[in-house]
Amino acid sequence: MAEQPAIMSLAEAGAKSEAKSEVDVPEQGAAQQPQEEMPPTVVVDDVHLIYRVHGAAAGKGSATSALSRLALRKKAAGITEVHAVRGVSFVAYKGQAIGLIGRNGSGKSTILRCIAGLLPPTTGKIYSDGQPSLLGVNAAMMNDLTGERNIILGCLAMGMTQREADDKYDDIATFSGLNNYNGKDFLRLPMRTYSSGMASRLRFSIAAARTHDVLMIDEALATGDRDFQLKSEARIRRLREEAGTVFLVSHSMKSIRDTCDRVIWLDQGVIKMDGPTTEVVDAYEGK
């Protein structure tokens, strides 16, 4: 495989940082509850998801094809089914950070959207403790508003009161680092002036301001720079200790190794492997 060398070097970097973190983690591992006591936070029970794509074969934009479809009542003509998730089951427990890995189109983001309750599964059920929140890379806030307003609106939308939102504001602004970015207060500018990395900083900072029962992060850290990645990885570990469950979708095996203790490898919509980070990531990287 052409990309092998790059992956290897990432893996090495990951192994190094893991060795480093080994020093301060042990008591956490020892304090782990016996498994009977661990309450599940997300139960995914044999979930299938089929996307029905309209107008895939015959372009619906073309007037003649749309008219002939209406006239002939051929409803099924332009519909293609994509079976994105095929029978996935797993149980996530309190305090776990679970990495989801796999090739593009293997169903990682789809399963997260199902868990978040944004996409009803075609068959199967998903049970969760509280309301899982999904932090996605496409999840823009309001582009024509300033960062400031987006912070307040985001907090209010998550269910905070006006006072709580005002209290959290400084934390969020400082964590995002955008209140003094290259010597400029970007929070006073509309979000449409932000680079994609800056926007994802702000989104993550807002979502991380609250403790979530279940927080899912979909490639949201991919565009952040190295400083911010380290900061947000530390925040993810803290969110996890605050008794939540964290899901992380990433193609960076280093991020996965640094933040997750369990990894689920999805391939073509089914679970190929599920277990401790090192085992699964090693297998994924073909070691």
Partner 1 sequence: MANSVQADTLSPQGTSAPPGSSEPLADLAARYKLTVSGARPGLFAYSGQLWARRHFIVAFANAKTRATYSTAKLGQVWQVLTPLMNAAVYYLIFGYLVQTKEGIDNYVAFLVTGVFVFTFTQSAVLAGSRAISDQLNLIRALHFPRACLPISFTIVQLQQLLFSMVVLCAIVLGTGEPLTLKWLLVVPALVLQFVFNVGLSLVLARIGAVLVDIKQLLPFVLRTWLYLSGVFYSLDSYTDKAPGWVARVLEANPGAVYIEVIRDSLIDSHHTLPLHVWGYAVGWALVMGIGGYVYFWKAEERYGSG
**Binding to partner 1, residues 187-206 (CB under 8 A):** 190, 203
Distance of alpha carbon 36 from alpha carbon 91, whole angstroms: 13
Q: Is 213 helix (H, G, I), strand (E, B) or coil?
A: coil
**What crossing angle do the helices spanning 162-176 and 196-207 adopt, rounded to 10°?**
140
Q: Is 209 in the site for partner 1 (CB under 8 A)?
A: no
Q: Among residues 152 and 178, whose Cβ is nearest to partner 1?
A: 152
Which residues, 41 to 80, sit near partner 1 by CB under 8 A? 41-46
Work out which of 53, 70, 91, 234 binds partner 1, going by CB under 8 A.
91
Joined tokens for residue 216: 């899912």
Q: Is 269 in the site for partner 1 (CB under 8 A)?
A: no
Work out which of 61, 159, 183, 286 binds partner 1, going by CB under 8 A.
159
| Nearest distance from C-beta of residue 2 to partner 1, angstroms | 30
Q: Is 103 in the site for partner 1 (CB under 8 A)?
A: no
Q: Is 117 in the site for partner 1 (CB under 8 A)?
A: yes
Distance of alpha carbon 57 from alpha carbon 215, whole angstroms: 37
- Any idea what DSSP says for residue 185? -
Distance of alpha carbon 119 from alpha carbon 117, whole angstroms: 6
Work out which of 141, 189, 222, 283 binds partner 1, going by CB under 8 A.
141
Work out whether the CA dihedral 59, 64, 69, 70 comes out positive or negative: positive
Work out which of 22, 170, 171, 225 binds partner 1, going by CB under 8 A.
22
Q: Kind of pairing, strands 97-101 and 80-93?
A: unpaired
The piece of 68-76, 175-183, 233-241, 273-281 that touches partner 1 (CB under 8 A) is: 273-281
| Nearest distance from C-beta of residue 87 to partner 1, angstroms | 9
- Any idea what DSSP says for residue 219? S
Distance of alpha carbon 148 from alpha carbon 69, whole angstroms: 49
Judged by CB under 8 A, how many residues of this single chain contact partner 1? 72
Q: Is 134 in the site for partner 1 (CB under 8 A)?
A: yes
Q: Is 152 in the site for partner 1 (CB under 8 A)?
A: yes
Q: Among residues 185 and 279, whose Cβ is nearest to partner 1?
A: 279
| Nearest distance from C-beta of residue 117 to partner 1, angstroms | 2
CB neighbour list of residue 46: distance below 8 Å, 6 or more residues apart? 87, 88, 89, 123, 124, 125
The piece of 72-80, 180-188, 237-245, 277-285 that touches partner 1 (CB under 8 A) is: 277-285
CB neighbour list of residue 270: distance below 8 Å, 6 or more residues apart? 86, 87, 88
Q: Among residues 111 and 178, whose Cβ is nearest to partner 1?
A: 111
Distance of alpha carbon 247 from alpha carbon 134, whole angstroms: 9
Work out which of 56, 129, 169, 181 binds partner 1, going by CB under 8 A.
129
